[in-house]
Structure 1
Amino acid sequence: MASSLNETVPVDATKTTKRVYESNILGPDGDKLAIEDMNGRERQIEEHGIQKFNRLGWKRLTIVLIAEAVALGTLSIPSTFATLGMVAGVITCIGVGFLAIYTSYIVGRVKVLNPHITNFPDAAHLMFSKLGCGRFGYELVTVMLGLLLVFLGASHCLTGTIAFETITESNTCSIVFAVVSAIILFLLAIPPSFTEVAILGYVDFASILIAVGITIIGTGVESTNSSHGLSNVNWSAWPKPGITFSEGFIACTNIVFAYTITLCQISFMDEMHTPSDYMKSIWSLGFIEITVYTLTGALVYAFVGQDVKSPALLSAGHFLSRLVFGIALPVIFISGSINIVVFGRMVHGRIFKNSYIRFINTPVGWITWLVTILVTVIVAFIIAEVIPFFNDLLSIMSALFVSGFTFYFPAMMWFLLLREGPITTPKNIALAILNAFIFVIGILILVAGTYTSIQDIIDQYRAGTVSGVFSCKAFSPTSLRVPGLWQYDCHLPIFSAPLDLMSDSPVKQACEACRRRKVKCTSPRPCKQCRSAGLVCRTSIQQQRKGRQSQKTANILSELRSKENVQTLPRETSIYSPSTGPRIESVTPLSPPASGRCQFSRTAGLLSSSLINDCSGYFFSRMRGTVPILQPCGFQKQIDLAGSSLHAYCLVTAFCAFVVTQTGFSVEYDSMNYSGKCSFEDFRGSLITEATEARRHIDPVTDPVRQSIIIAFLLYGCHIGLGNQRNAYYYLREATTLYTASALDDQASSRQVDDDDPSEEGKLFWLLVISERAHAIRRHRPITLQVTSESPQLEDDPNLPTSTAGFLCLVNLYRPFDESFLGQWNGINASCSIESLVQLQERIQNAVPADLDLPDILMADLRVSQQWLRIMIWQLSTTAGFLSTSPTHACMDFRHPLQIAEDLCLATWKLSKQSMETHGIGLIEKLFEVACTLVDVMACLSVAGLRSSGFKLGPQDYLKHLCTLIHDLPGGRRRYLPLLLTKIRQSLSSMIAPITIHLNLQPYPPAGSSVPDRDTLSPIVSSQISLQEGLTGSTSADIHPGSTPGNWMDSNFNYAEMSRIGDKTPEIDEAFLQYSSYFS
């Protein structure tokens, strides 16, 4: 071991080693250990280690500095030129470049005059010692530098993830790419000497030059091949018109941070064999940076103009973007590994400050070094994946720490460590002014950057856009943005010049399109959002309301594009509006300009004049009282806009699909378009498909949001009508979520649909409440909308129109079924009392007075809903075990469903069939659930208890009436009657024959008789023979063996059967799929 070490030490190494070692072991505490105190082996290891870490020349130092300072951030420089203009951009790049050279000179001069310092914290110790707080300064700067380096490593890990996703365009979870990036960073950070790292620096430097060159060439070729060539590029030599101080400051700061080279400079210089040569490296780096930044910014800006994207590689096309990311992979990981090595050297050197282990040339040294690097990379990986606002936290770190290392710390070093002679000399006065200017720049960035970054974190939490931890969400070069003062693309490592900062800066007043889409507007104009969407970027002079007016985003795009092109595009249809009501000849799309979003192709002739007239006439004459979401005038406006607005077209299509599907209203659709080509069911399906496809091409959170809520509600009704319960719940949840998210705060946009009656806005809320709670009870779902003191109030006036009065009663029916009840209903909340359920029953009874006089259409929904809700409360009482044979309240009686069925039958006997048809499949489902509960209770009765007595109707009559309603109402015979007959067969087999006879269906054969031929039976019974062979009529003994006439409570009620009552009704769509083939 000793001989091998001696062979590598030069002849004069002993003297050099002693001098270097004694200087290097001096730390903040002034500790010093003489080399003579070591034994022979330790001395040899020490000498070998010092030689190993003092081999860096000025050329390799230049390469290391380039690898640490210059990277993909170079490609965001052109966007700053678009703000500042060509002349100011070039001047700023060159001026800031020389300023960076000067601050690097100061830091390097401190290292040369104090060779014992090994990193920036050591220099801070010297500087703060002049102020009497050397130890404090040392620890403070150590924490600052350590946090910043680890976060930079995390940034490069995240950058590698995005690069891999951009290159591969795969669906692989982003965490996989993040792990791969972390492993690469670890492997590249293993070499502890910057002399060895410099070898990788050559690859880094070549990669960034090639990437920048391809971007410049790619944008130049694309611009040359455009229709008007380079002569049509809209670049300017001067700042853009109307530039604000904030915009100019942000653009300048973007360039300033591109020249950050002092952060690790002392650590690099500590390995130089001739530290005085550092200025050669600084001058070389400075001129390379000035050249690369200026040429990149000027050429790309000249090729692309004001529309240049950030990073500029996005302006070169999709293929070149992927290519550049692939070429730049070495830049991403080598630059990141340098930050890891600098941090590891700082930590490792401090732990083993006075030990030869710090030279990492022994097994213990290598083990401790690898552990240090591994832990650092793991921490960086976790930080990047766990912290939900990582990018803003990184910008806070930059504002707090980079401003110090780059600006005000070097300025303080001159004042406290380098100034020679009195301050009054001309040289010192000039240098004092220069350094004071640098200090002010640092403080300005410190304050402004920290404030805006913290504010953006707060805004993200308020907007709910803070991401989760370890998520597999896909990233893209433009998807990750850090709002605030520093609008940088976080996929570009923060010190990869120009620090990825401020590629697009925010503006004080958003343009018209961004304001309507509710997205962040940026400078320069045209803003990035308008450029990417292909919209005209203009600013309204009119003062807009402050605050969140409505939701953001994309497909107001369709409407905006259509408005911009409506004068130039040919109209393919005639849309007119007679005074007699909403009419439309046909709705044919006006083709919007091509964009990145897939265009929606409308089905020609699907929405005919007769279809819309019939649907609107039916809706406003019969459904407006129970579904108050539209008014004739507001709907007519949507018809007028349907030819140019996809939002309006989607609403009109969904409206027609809702009326046709939900109510079973059979329209006479245009024979020219569909007669003979498809069945009515296919036509109905075409309407739903058209509305659904149109909705996929619009963003539901656009202005006006009320339209999006109405569309979601209409699609919910369509899928309810089809029995697609899960799809229905999706659209219902979307409607309630949009409302809950303060989507209707912008009252102006809300009234774009029904501006003739603002009171209708409150009805929309209560309609959603009613629909959501009814669905939650039927399907055991949670609810979103809560009724509070701030909820819209409906006017309770005796002089109200009958439709409003009926809707108010419907609201009163569902208002009590809040989260408390649903918690008990769903088994989440076990706290339930008899008194609360009795009070709830009384509220339901009083919500619809017995003497209420309203049209049959309104009464049908009210009465059926009322009795259905009473059944639901009784079922909850059954589950809770509150029922009794001698109850104190009638609603707690086992037989209470018999009374409910009687009340329901008496109410529906007075109503016309047409009045119940209007309410569609939802009303039939309520009748079905009441009938199922009635069957369960009847199964517990004796035969005598089932029959009527004298002139009084009995349970059998109620069941027959309910079966008749379900059989006769559209949709009931095919979907619910099979289920009900099956339940009767299973629970109450003695009733199956009387009911089939009552419904004019062939009765089932009595016991012992042969099964009749299928051709002699009705279609329903014929199709059910395969399921019901062997079914026989039953006597009371067959139902309940041993039951005898007598007292009902003593012997005629089978309490064992009560265990089935209150069970959750099976999903209708699932059961229907099982039986539909038999009841078609």
Structure 2
Amino acid sequence: MSNPLPQAIAPLPHKPIAEATMEEKKAFADSASGSSDDPKIDIDDPEKGARIKTVPAEGSIMESGEIVYRTMSWQKCCALLLCEYVCLAILAFPSAFATLGMAGGLLATFFFGLVTLYTSVTLWKYCLRHPDALHIADIGAHIFGRGNATRARIAYELTAAALCINNIMIIGLHTLTGSKIINTLAAHPTCSVGLSIAVAGICVIMTLPRKLDHVAWMGVASAASMFISILLVLIFSGIQGKHPANATEENYTITITAFAPKGTTFVQGFNAMLNIIFTWVGQCLYPSMIAELRDPREFGKALYVVTAVEFVLFSVVGITVYALTGQFAGAPAVITLKPVFKKIAFAFVFPTTVIIGVLYASVVAKYVFARLFIGSRHYNNHTVLGWVAWSSIVAVTWVIGWIIGEGVPFFGDLLSLMSALFDGWFGALFWAVAYAEVNHGQLWVGQGLNRKAQTVLNVVIFFSGLFIFGPGLYTSVQAIINSYSLGYVKSPFTCANNGL
């Protein structure tokens, strides 16, 4: 089989982009972009000053064959981002606010939101400088492998492994959540394990489209469905007033605090913060989205629109539900609603649960499929081998996710564990190092106030990422141990009712 691509992305496994020479990168850029004198679509490569294109034109690996990948508009990208972020995790914000306090929760929400926006812009600009990157593993090889082929290879493999583990844990969470929703709505119609298998089967079928452009249409339905659920939670909470259904005392007073209430442990506080971080951080999917954009320069439009929506939704849900439920706020927030209200609001979460799982599974499957077939006709054409391989990869991805979801059957603590394991890297460390790599030799000496301020900020972001990974991992694991010891978690792979 001939390989039409330059060695920069050779198949099985393809060479990490950061290992490529500047000549190889230029060869890729030329094949991906064609020749043009239009300066508006060229940018400087920071490594050696070469000019590379940011918008691959017809004829590249993303543009040729029967399956054309680079067709997504920024509006569809916006739909994908809304699908990723308008999710059930938003209904965990009232619980986080109850742990951190009203002011503490708002400060954490806005601080991590602004950091996420800043690092996301860094990522976007980095992808524009490296249009040959197809996914986060390529970016990892670029960032951590500068000038060293061995280091680039190690960074590539570790980043790819982190991407797969992170996404598979998330889809596992969604199979578990799907069974929980059905049990809540239908009063435990059958074994919970059987329900989660059925949910995984539905997800496998919906993950079969090979382009994120097609998943974007599902993203619109996902975001709309979850928005309705959030709206219903707010309305029903208002109807109930300060009478949460899960109140454990006969005579109680709703307590609202500005900051963490007395008696809050470090583990509880840090886990609440990790839940907020988890909802904000999603950068590991961005390079895969940018790689399929018709014009990657327009990613910023989608990013700013969705970030504005996030700030509003996260804050409104946290403030409103916490103000009405106080110390009884739980995750997800529907547990504070009366049974009939809970079922109505929770019903709209099911489409979102399935479709977000599909998005994360698609990115994993696309990485594995590209690693096996990029450079061959099976990658971007309708072949029997290509579709059999794609379908098998999708199925195996969901099977592994289902095993994890059933093996770790709880919601809030799993969010914290995933946040600690990966968000420190994908949300902070990667982009602080990317900033240093792009501005190599221009970080401090002889630089203006703006550059120095950004350098200081990125140092803070770097150590914040380390803190999330270190102490964050300890607190999330300890929370899991505590949940099991106190009997809050049912046994793994159980048929017992896991409804709310």
TM-score by length of 2: 0.81
1:134 aligned residue (145, 149, 152):
152
1:191 aligned residue (180, 205, 209):
209
1:158-237 correspondence runs (5 A): 158-223=176-241, 234-237=255-258
2:277 aligned residue (251, 256, 276):
256
Sequence identity, in percent?
Answer: 28
* 3-state secondary structure, aligned to 2:112: helix
Q: Give, in whole Å, the separation in 2 of the partners of 1:289 and 1:195.
A: 22
1:117 aligned residue (128, 133, 153):
133
* Letter paired with 2:434: M
Q: Give, in whole Å, the separation in 2 of the partners of 1:382 and 1:442.
A: 29
1:317 maps to 338
1:333 maps to 354
Q: Deviations over 1:689-710 (max 9, x none)?
A: xxxxxxxxxxxxxxxxxxxxxx
Q: How many residues align?
A: 448
1:298 maps to 319
Residues 222 and 463 of structure 1: is their aligned pair in 2 closer, same or farther, counting only changes over 3 Å?
A: closer
1:87 Cα offset (Å): 3.3
Residues 391 and 360 of structure 1: is their aligned pair in 2 closer, same or farther, counting only changes over 3 Å?
A: farther
1:247 Cα offset (Å): 4.9
Q: Give, in whole Å, the separation in 2 of the partners of 1:123 and 1:297.
A: 34
* Letter paired with 1:190: L
Q: Give 1 or 2 for the bigger CA radius of gyration.
A: 1
Q: Deviations over 1:578-628 (max 9, x none)?
A: xxxxxxxxxxxxxxxxxxxxxxxxxxxxxxxxxxxxxxxxxxxxxxxxxxx
Q: Deviations over 1:86-121 (max 9, x none)?
A: 334333322322211101111111111100001111
Alignment of 1:58 with 2:74, yes or no, is: yes
2:281–2:427 contact (8 Å) kept in structure 1: yes
Q: Give, in whole Å, the separation in 2 of the partners of 1:321 and 1:62.
A: 29
1:917-936 correspondence runs (5 A): none
Q: Give, in whole Å, the separation in 2 of the partners of 1:212 and 1:390.
A: 18
2:275–2:412 contact (8 Å) kept in structure 1: no
* 3-state secondary structure, aligned to 1:52: coil
2:84 aligned residue (68, 72, 91):
68
1:255 Cα offset (Å): 2.1
2:366 aligned residue (345, 354, 358):
345
1:467 Cα offset (Å): 6.2
Q: Deviations over 1:280-336 (max 9, x none)?
A: 111111111000001111112222333323322122211121112211111100000
Alignment of 1:443 with 2:466, yes or no, is: yes
2:404 maps to 383
2:452 maps to 429
Residues 246 and 381 of structure 1: is their aligned pair in 2 closer, same or farther, counting only changes over 3 Å?
A: closer
Q: Give, in whole Å, the separation in 2 of the partners of 1:447 and 1:317.
A: 39
* Letter paired with 1:471: T
2:274–2:415 contact (8 Å) kept in structure 1: no
* Letter paired with 1:107: L
Q: Give, in whole Å, the separation in 1 of the partners of 2:115 and 2:7.
A: 35
2:165 aligned residue (144, 147, 160):
147
Q: Deviations over 1:683-731 (max 9, x none)?
A: xxxxxxxxxxxxxxxxxxxxxxxxxxxxxxxxxxxxxxxxxxxxxxxxx
Residues 273 and 380 of structure 1: is their aligned pair in 2 closer, same or farther, counting only changes over 3 Å?
A: same
2:303 maps to 282
* Letter paired with 1:105: V
Q: Deviations over 1:516-573 (max 9, x none)?
A: xxxxxxxxxxxxxxxxxxxxxxxxxxxxxxxxxxxxxxxxxxxxxxxxxxxxxxxxxx
1:561-710 correspondence runs (5 A): none
Residues 301 and 352 of structure 1: is their aligned pair in 2 closer, same or farther, counting only changes over 3 Å?
A: same
Q: Give, in whole Å, the separation in 1 of the partners of 2:377 and 2:386.
A: 8
* 3-state secondary structure, aligned to 2:106: helix
2:35 maps to none
Residues 459 and 88 of structure 1: is their aligned pair in 2 closer, same or farther, counting only changes over 3 Å?
A: closer
Q: Give, in whole Å, the separation in 1 of the partners of 2:497 and 2:432.
A: 43
1:860-939 correspondence runs (5 A): none
1:28-67 correspondence runs (5 A): 28=16, 30=20, 47-49=63-65, 52-67=68-83
* Letter paired with 1:373: V
Q: Deviations over 1:990-1045 (max 9, x none)?
A: xxxxxxxxxxxxxxxxxxxxxxxxxxxxxxxxxxxxxxxxxxxxxxxxxxxxxxxx
* Letter paired with 1:436: V
Alignment of 1:472 with 2:498, yes or no, is: no
1:153–1:336 contact (8 Å) kept in structure 2: yes
1:458 Cα offset (Å): 6.0
Residues 46 and 170 of structure 1: is their aligned pair in 2 closer, same or farther, counting only changes over 3 Å?
A: closer
Q: Give, in whole Å, the separation in 1 of the partners of 2:337 and 2:489.
A: 31
1:1039-1058 correspondence runs (5 A): none
1:144–1:401 contact (8 Å) kept in structure 2: yes
* Letter paired with 2:76: R
* Letter paired with 1:433: V
Q: Which moves more between the two structures, 288-297 or 437-446?
A: 437-446
1:488 maps to none
Gaps of 5+ in 1: 1-17, 37-42, 227-231, 478-1080
* Letter paired with 1:254: N
* Letter paired with 2:494: S
1:105–1:279 contact (8 Å) kept in structure 2: yes
1:341–1:373 contact (8 Å) kept in structure 2: yes
1:743 maps to none
1:471 Cα offset (Å): 2.7
* 3-state secondary structure, aligned to 1:96: helix
1:233–1:303 contact (8 Å) kept in structure 2: yes
Residues 234 and 379 of structure 1: is their aligned pair in 2 closer, same or farther, counting only changes over 3 Å?
A: closer
* Letter paired with 1:295: V
Residues 35 and 84 of structure 1: is their aligned pair in 2 closer, same or farther, counting only changes over 3 Å?
A: closer
1:169 Cα offset (Å): 0.5
1:105 maps to 121
Residues 476 and 202 of structure 1: is their aligned pair in 2 closer, same or farther, counting only changes over 3 Å?
A: same
1:151 Cα offset (Å): 1.6
2:87–2:352 contact (8 Å) kept in structure 1: yes
1:453 Cα offset (Å): 4.0
2:44 maps to none
Residues 272 and 240 of structure 1: is their aligned pair in 2 closer, same or farther, counting only changes over 3 Å?
A: same
* 3-state secondary structure, aligned to 1:263: helix
Residues 464 and 240 of structure 1: is their aligned pair in 2 closer, same or farther, counting only changes over 3 Å?
A: closer
Q: Give, in whole Å, the separation in 2 of the partners of 1:388 and 1:302.
A: 29
Q: Give, in whole Å, the separation in 2 of the partners of 1:389 and 1:307.
A: 18
Structure richer in helix, relative to its length: 2
Q: Give, in whole Å, the separation in 2 of the partners of 1:157 and 1:316.
A: 23
1:737 maps to none
Provide the alpha-carbon RMSD of the alignment. 3.3
1:384–1:390 contact (8 Å) kept in structure 2: no
1:530-549 correspondence runs (5 A): none
1:370 maps to 391
1:462 Cα offset (Å): 7.5
2:200–2:402 contact (8 Å) kept in structure 1: yes
1:98–1:286 contact (8 Å) kept in structure 2: no
1:46–1:356 contact (8 Å) kept in structure 2: no
Residues 115 and 51 of structure 1: is their aligned pair in 2 closer, same or farther, counting only changes over 3 Å?
A: farther
1:801-840 correspondence runs (5 A): none
1:177 Cα offset (Å): 0.6
Residues 85 and 382 of structure 1: is their aligned pair in 2 closer, same or farther, counting only changes over 3 Å?
A: closer
1:419–1:428 contact (8 Å) kept in structure 2: no
Gaps of 5+ in 2: 33-58, 245-252
* Letter paired with 1:444: F
Alignment of 1:157 with 2:163, yes or no, is: no
1:217 Cα offset (Å): 0.5
Residues 453 and 224 of structure 1: is their aligned pair in 2 closer, same or farther, counting only changes over 3 Å?
A: closer
